[in-house]
Amino acid sequence: MSGSTSSVFFGLSTIAYIIAMVLYIGYLAFRKNKVGVVATAVTIVGFISQTLAILLRWKEFYEIGQMGWLRAVPLTNLYESLVFFVWCLILAYLVIEFRYKNRSFGAFITPVAGLVLAFIDISGMSKDIQPLVPALQSNWLLAHVMMSFISYAMFAVSFSTGLMYLIVRTEKRSEPAYLFWTIMLSVFILVLCAMGLDYMTFKISVKSQEELIKGYLFKATFRNSSSAIAFLSLGVSVAFTFFIWRFGGALKKVITGLNISAEILDEITYKSIAMGFPIFTLGGLIFGAIWADQAWGKYWTWDPKETWSLITWFFYAFYLHSRLMRGWKGKKVAMVAVLGFVAVIFTYLGVNLLLSGLHSYGSQ
Amino acid sequence: MEKGKNKSIIDLVWDLFASVKLAVVIFSLIAVTSMVGTVLEQDAEPERNIQVLVKMFGVGHETAHSIYSVFDSLGFMNMYHSWWFVTFLLLFAANLIVCSLDRLPRILKLVRENVRPLSLEHLEKMSIRKSFAIKGSASSIKDDVTSSINKIGFKPSKAAAENGLQFYAEKGNFTRLGVYITHLSILIILAGAIIGLKFGFNGTLNLPEGQTAPVAFKDKGTQVPLGFELRCDNFDVEYYGDSDMPKSYRSWLTILKDGREVLKKVISVNDPLTYEGITFYQSSYGSVGENMNNGIIVLRVISSDGRSNKVNTKIGGTFTIPGSSIEGHVSNFSPALSVDQSGRPFTYDAGLKNPAIHVELPNVGGKPYSGWIFKRYPQTWRLPDGSSVEFLDYWGVEYTGLQVRKDPGVWIVYLGCIIMAAGLYITFFMSHKRLWVNVADGKGAAKIVIGASANRNRAAFERDIEKLAGLLGEATKGENR
């Protein structure tokens, strides 16, 4: 059965990315070239098997749906889109590794890939192939969704290089840019940890990951029914943020040791946005609008997803203008790049999971 | 722009709108208010948003109610159409126009300016440069130089230079306009949107099977005459396998003009019908509750020897098997029939999800027969003697939910989108490339200096120049052999 074959390849790629992560970190620590070569090789193996897995799933979907190849693209639910996002991210990383002949970056990208794939496994997210609802049965599906995710992956790259740029370029703890990146990093880690705790606390009582995030977000920590726990979580968060702020310099030393200059980081940030922005505009906004026009007769309705896409678009348009026209280069634009990706995450996940939760009655 | 000492008000306003600061302010205003608009549900029942406020701020219902009134009076409950949000958008457009016009003359000058020969000192300062010597003299290799430059896609001009010749060429100087094309496209899209709002409408129409409508309904229930009539001949849902998940739903529509049928089309989601500028989109469906037991049962009855007959009947009605006198009777009906664990049939939904009729025939091949016949399951259609009763449709109890739209501006929006795609492509993937090849005669060899520049994607152009240097070397080698 091709279904099991595709999941075998998915499993293989998850394992490969996790091994690659260990190898890349080892390469950073010991600087042995052989380790780096093996890390690259393992990443490529993971990438190939993931490509095969996606293609197999595509074929499977095609055979079940009987609606043509274009409409069988495996990109129609959270699981499939996360997998494709990882695929794009690894592809972007491999391109960067070969272009810039620098492997250090792998230690930052492969963990993201491994974590996302592991998160899919642990969270028990539905991996079933779901038939398409009529609104999704359109040839725009492939172009719209695929281009959106390619641009998201580009923006993810610019996010990490932008953050690294800020880490490398900030000197004083009182600097706004230093405060910005330490708080940003802390919030990111804290939100992930809080969601992990939610999962561990409530996994028995909920059916799906979506329900967990919609109904139980931060219920284990900040929004716990016991105010003592809520305050404790808040206290721990403040302490953690302070810790990152106090010892952020150590991170700077690690990254400076990577042989990546601030200029290259800035260049990669710019180039990935300069690639991602037109792809996002065309695939995400324009194709989305045309599709909506053909399906519902409204190319723009200001629904939360559309509005957040537009806000994201504003962020990156602002990035490009401030950089090109005002000579705003450096830390300020890097902050815009980082914020832009926060908007991307919100467009992709926040709108579906948070806003719809806010508008539902069930969870209260 | 004239820069006098005493600026008039017009100049001041112009400068204000040409400033990037104002652009940042407008960008931020649109972004922040838009964010608020996604949190508060737009155009919703007040109670829903009061609940949202309760959840967000953790306040009591009373407080939430007063916060709601404040937001409501500011227009946040339908904010994308409020006067101030529209003003932001118009300010954004004005800012975009003035900013572009302010910078355009300078850029146009750059675009019109043709590449000119440059001194050697200039070439040495170029971001891309190469210098090397080859055998021959400027006059003997000039054709080779021209053809080599042609090979990398440029058409060079020639000029006399110190001790020799200079070749120079450029490509893509219009690409500097890409940004302005993109800006223009945004304005075109906005213009198309305004035309659509002004001269078009958006409405809905729930049309039961068999009925005809001359109007559609706008948001507040106002009628919009269509100028023709629309009839729904049939509506049908197709499901995935045994599930109740719709795979597709379709409406058979007919346009009537002055009582005559002028157009027929089967529409489905993503496949609308357009007539006289008005488009009908399949958007939803439902059943007309009070009609549920009054529908027309459409059957095709086929005898065991293959004679078939199409029959329209009702609940409690009868049908005959062709070529015989055997009469059947529809004794029961369910819009959505299922069977419970003990094998008892029951109706699980009020909608037409799995319609079934119970038929009773006193004599089929000598025995009486009765049983349920499902529209969705042809295997239930066969009777013991080889004849069959096909349950084709239960007609007249469902309505098709249509979105009705007239938007004369949509083509302008589409045009804007195409221009935007072109503008972005030019801006991000093309560049203005210039190159100079200076050939100076020396002692027995010609000294070649190549200088080049590109305003974007320099690395790719550098490879082209690398190739050019290689071509020049090869071409002259061949000559000396």
Q: B270 vs A295: CB contact, 8 Å cut-off? A: yes
End-to-end CA, chain B: 61
Region of poorest pLDDT, from A111-120, B213-222, B285-294, B405-414? A111-120
> How would residue A309 be classed by pLDDT, with cut points 50, 70 and 90?
very high
Structure confidence by residue, pLDDT tens digits, B212-221? 999 999 877 8
* A342 touching B (Cβ < 8 Å): no
β-partners of residue B267 are: B251
Burial B214-230 (b: 16+ CB within 10 A, else e): ebbeeeeeeebebeebb
pLDDT at A298: 87
Q: A298 vs B48: CB contact, 8 Å cut-off? A: no
> How would residue B237 be classed by pLDDT, with cut points 50, 70 and 90?
very high
Arithmetic mean of pLDDT, B249-272: 93
**Of A137, A297, A318, which is closest to B27 when you measure between CB atoms?**
A318
Q: Does domain B197-289+399-418 have CATH number 3.40.50?
A: no
Q: B427 vs A131: CB contact, 8 Å cut-off? A: no
**Of A131, A297, A307, which is closest to B405 when you measure between CB atoms?**
A297
Q: Residue A280 to residues A271, B115, B438: CA-CA distances in angstroms? A: 14, 35, 43
* A225 touching B (Cβ < 8 Å): no
CA-CA-CA-CA torsion sign (B155, B159, B162, B168):
negative
HSE, side-chain direction, 13 A CA sphere, residue B161: 28
Chain A residues inside the 8 Å CB shell of B34: 302, 307, 310-311
* Residues 6 or more apart whose Cβ sits within 8 Å of residue A91: A47, A153
Chain B residues inside the 8 Å CB shell of A296: 281, 283, 403
pLDDT at A324: 65
Query: Where do runs of H (alpha helix) occur along B40-127?
Result: 46-57, 61-73, 83-112, 120-124
Q: For residue A335, how far is the Cα from the chain centroid?
A: 17
Q: B245 vs A133: CB contact, 8 Å cut-off? A: yes
Structure confidence by residue, pLDDT tens digits, B17-61? 888 788 888 988 999 999 988 888 888 888 888 888 887 777 788
**What pairing do the DSSP bridges indicate for beta strands B273-275 and B388-395?**
unpaired
pLDDT at A327: 60
Arithmetic mean of pLDDT, A108-130: 73
Contact A131, A74 (CB under 8 A): no
Arithmetic mean of pLDDT, A322-347: 84
Residue A116 C-alpha, separation from nearest chain B C-alpha, in angstroms: 27
* A298 touching B (Cβ < 8 Å): yes
Higher pLDDT, A124 or B121: B121
> How would residue A361 be classed by pLDDT, with cut points 50, 70 and 90?
very low
pLDDT at A30: 80
Contact B464, B130 (CB under 8 A): no
Contact B406, B211 (CB under 8 A): no
Domain boundaries of chain B, sorted by first residue = 2-109, 120-172+431-476, 197-289+399-418, 296-396
Residue A274 C-alpha, separation from nearest chain B C-alpha, in angstroms: 6
Higher pLDDT, B7 or A304: A304
Measured CA to CA, the distance from residue B469 to residue B475 in angstroms comes to 10
Structure confidence by residue, pLDDT tens digits, A245-255? 988 888 888 77
User: What number is the ipTM of this complex?
Assistant: 0.85
Q: In what order do the strands lie in the sheet with B356-364?
A: B318-320, B327-334, B356-364, B367-374
Measured CA to CA, the distance from residue B406 to residue B276 in angstroms comes to 9
Arithmetic mean of pLDDT, B226-247: 90
End-to-end CA, chain A: 43
Chain B residues inside the 8 Å CB shell of A310: 34
Name which of B198, B215, B197 is nearest B206 in CA terms: B215
Higher pLDDT, B154 or B474: B154
Residue A147 C-alpha, separation from nearest chain B C-alpha, in angstroms: 14
Q: A137 vs B270: CB contact, 8 Å cut-off? A: yes
DSSP, residue by residue, A220-241? TTTT-SSHHHHHHHHHHHHHHH
Q: Which fold has domain B120-172+431-476?
A: TATA-Binding Protein (3.30.310)
Arithmetic mean of pLDDT, B457-470: 89
> How would residue A289 be classed by pLDDT, with cut points 50, 70 and 90?
very high
φ, ψ for residue A118, nearest 5 deg: -65, -40
Measured CA to CA, the distance from residue B396 to residue B30 in angstroms comes to 48
β-partners of residue B248 are: B238
Measured CA to CA, the distance from residue A265 to residue A160 in angstroms comes to 9
> How would residue B275 be classed by pLDDT, with cut points 50, 70 and 90?
very high
Q: A134 vs B269: CB contact, 8 Å cut-off? A: yes
Region of poorest pLDDT, from A174-183, B129-138, B327-336? B129-138
Chain B residues inside the 8 Å CB shell of A290: 414, 417
> How would residue A273 be classed by pLDDT, with cut points 50, 70 and 90?
very high
The helix or strand, by DSSP H or E, that contains position B135, with its residue range, turns out to be strand B128-135
Structure confidence by residue, pLDDT tens digits, A203-240? 666 666 566 666 677 777 887 788 888 889 889 999 99
Structure confidence by residue, pLDDT tens digits, B312-326? 999 999 998 888 878
The helix or strand, by DSSP H or E, that contains position B329, with its residue range, turns out to be strand B327-334
* A264 touching B (Cβ < 8 Å): no
Measured CA to CA, the distance from residue B455 to residue B128 in angstroms comes to 12
> How would residue B480 be classed by pLDDT, with cut points 50, 70 and 90?
very low
Arithmetic mean of pLDDT, B268-274: 92
Chain A residues inside the 8 Å CB shell of B24: 318
For B258-306, list the strands marked E by DSSP: 260-268, 273-275, 278-287, 296-302
Arithmetic mean of pLDDT, B319-334: 87
**What pairing do the DSSP bridges indicate for beta strands B212-217 and B223-239?**
antiparallel
- Is residue A280 classed as helix, strand or coil in its secondary structure? helix
φ, ψ for residue B292, nearest 5 deg: -50, -35
pLDDT at A362: 36
| Residue B348, pLDDT above cutoff 70 | yes
Q: B249 vs A134: CB contact, 8 Å cut-off? A: yes
Structure confidence by residue, pLDDT tens digits, A57-97? 888 888 877 777 878 888 877 788 888 989 999 999 999 88
